[in-house]
Amino acid sequence: MTEPLLPTPLITDDTVVFGLLALCLGFIFYGSSKNTGFWSKFYGIVPGVLMCYLLPGILASTGIVAEKWETLSETGEIITHTSSLYYVASRYLLPAALVLMTLSIDLKAIMNLGSKALIMFLTGSLGIIIGGPIAILIVSIFSPDTVGGNDFDAIWRGLSTIAGSWIGGGANQAAMYEIFKYNPEKYGAMVLVDIVVANIWMAVILLGVGRTKQIDKWLKADTSAIETLKVKVTAFAEKITRVPTLKDYMMMLCFAFTATGIAHFFGNNISAMLTNSFESVRDQKSFLSFLGSSFFWMVVIATAAGIALSFTKAKNYEGAGASKIGGMFIYLLVATIGMKMDLGKVLENPGLIAIGFIWISIHAGLLILVAKLIKAPFFFLAVGSQANVGGAASAPVVAAEFHPSLTSVGVLLAVFGYVVGTGGALLCAYLMEVASAL
């Protein structure tokens, strides 16, 4: 029995789809800016950034748009069509956003935040590593078939790709897929669990952002370093704020996309050179395999370019709205990620979804426990989690929800996530293999 073709959406033209996504974002930001009436109450409960994921997700779920669909050729071959919007947003807009958002970074002030940010990030990674095997053990009690499978159909192999995604990002996820060779026909279910569970967890975090003061009070957290950073960055922004000119916009365009071009050029060449020169990088089972990812190098080089510019007069372009333009690029990326969600498929495989929710709950529980023990602010918990689970695409978004000045913290932690992603995911995968055999 052959799998049914992925349905063709109502709109297949990327230009039209892009217009729809822009319409969604405009609708959301217009509504969330209201101080009175229905929308004020609605966005007081539901964060605007969550709607930036959900509205495109609803469009995808109702068949209006799709990230991927299939058709049959005249000879009966299956032709897969993929929207290029996510690729453009992740490869062009994301590095440009990273440059513009780190343009005015204050490294000294970020260092003054102390070790708690790193501790919470590593706690989040540990939660993913131990959460996978524990989730398998729990689900095996009432649904052993869900966590079974033999050879390349073994569920733990598929779950290893989720571990790669949740500790590092897309590059680490791809590495796990290559290492463990999970059945490609069943891989879509794993991608679904990854996207659905990760986005629901992000929604929970964003709901918590509106209650940060109450949560910090319960955690007995010392937020003085964060408040100092906010004040310092805000004061600097107010000092240099000006009415932007066409020259300002063209210079910011120059910085952002010249750095993006450099990031791609060196990223592609460095990854190719390391892959060709070192067996440890070429071997997908190696801890160092992430160094062969051009996406990893693109993110690192773009971030480094932004940090380098922060030591020059270019940092004054923050006063012309550099981080706001970067934020616009990130929200376009968020909307294209939302297109990947098919909300109608959430209940198609309840066993796998259950594994995902148990897994992320262990991650969350460990973060809360450690935050309580070391009295870490909710900001560190939220961004430490998203630097793992969401990576460079969502960690800066969550950080900016606390305060725009904190965006760069999310960027730096997300980069660190790519570094530990492959090693952490491999450890998690081997533990899940052991758990599946018990």
Q: What is the pLDDT of residue 260?
A: 96
Q: What is the pLDDT of residue 1?
A: 43
What's the pLDDT tens digit per position in 139-158? 888 877 777 766 667 888 88
Lowest mean pLDDT, pick from 100-104, 128-132, 229-233, 294-298: 229-233
**Residue 265: is its pLDDT beyond 90?**
yes
Q: What is the pLDDT of residue 12?
A: 93
Pick the residue with more confidence: 185 or 8? 8
Token pair, residue 233, equals 């960055």
Q: What is the pLDDT of residue 252?
A: 96
- Identify which of 44-48, 151-155, 305-309 has the greatest average pLDDT: 305-309
**Residue 405: is its pLDDT beyond 80?**
no
Kindly provide the b/e burial profile for residues 208-227, where b requires at least 16 CB atoms within 10 angstroms of the residue's own CB: bbeebeebbeebebebebbe
Are the C-beta atoms of 163 and 141 separated by less than 8 Å?
no
Q: What is the pLDDT of residue 185?
A: 64
**Residue 65: is its pLDDT beyond 90?**
yes
What's the pLDDT tens digit per position in 190-224? 877 887 788 788 888 888 887 888 998 998 888 88
**Beta-strand runs (E) in 319-372:** none
| Alpha carbon distances (Å) from 264 to 98, 259, 267 | 13, 9, 5
What backbone torsions phi and psi does residue 11 show, to the nearest 5 degrees? Answer: -115, 120
Pick the residue with more confidence: 235 or 263? 263
Q: What is the pLDDT of residue 365?
A: 94
Q: How many CB atoms lie within 10 A of CB 161?
A: 26
Pick the residue with more confidence: 107 or 410? 410
Pick the residue with more confidence: 377 or 148? 377
H/E stretch holding 141 reads helix 116-142
Q: How confident is the model at residue 261 (pLDDT cuts 50, 70, 90)?
A: very high
Sign of the C-alpha dihedral, residues 306, 307, 312, 313?
Answer: positive
| Alpha carbon distances (Å) from 265 to 88, 95, 259, 298, 416 | 16, 13, 10, 9, 21
Q: What is the pLDDT of residue 59?
A: 93
Token pair, residue 126, equals 């540990």
- What whole-number percentage of the chain has pLDDT above 90? 24
**Residue 395: is its pLDDT beyond 50?**
yes
Lowest mean pLDDT, pick from 28-32, 273-277, 336-340, 379-383: 336-340
The model's pTM: 0.74
**Residue 127: is its pLDDT beyond 90?**
yes
Lowest mean pLDDT, pick from 28-32, 56-60, 285-289, 384-388: 285-289
Whole-number mean pLDDT of the chain? 84
Q: What is the pLDDT of residue 285?
A: 60
**Residue 349: is its pLDDT beyond 80?**
no
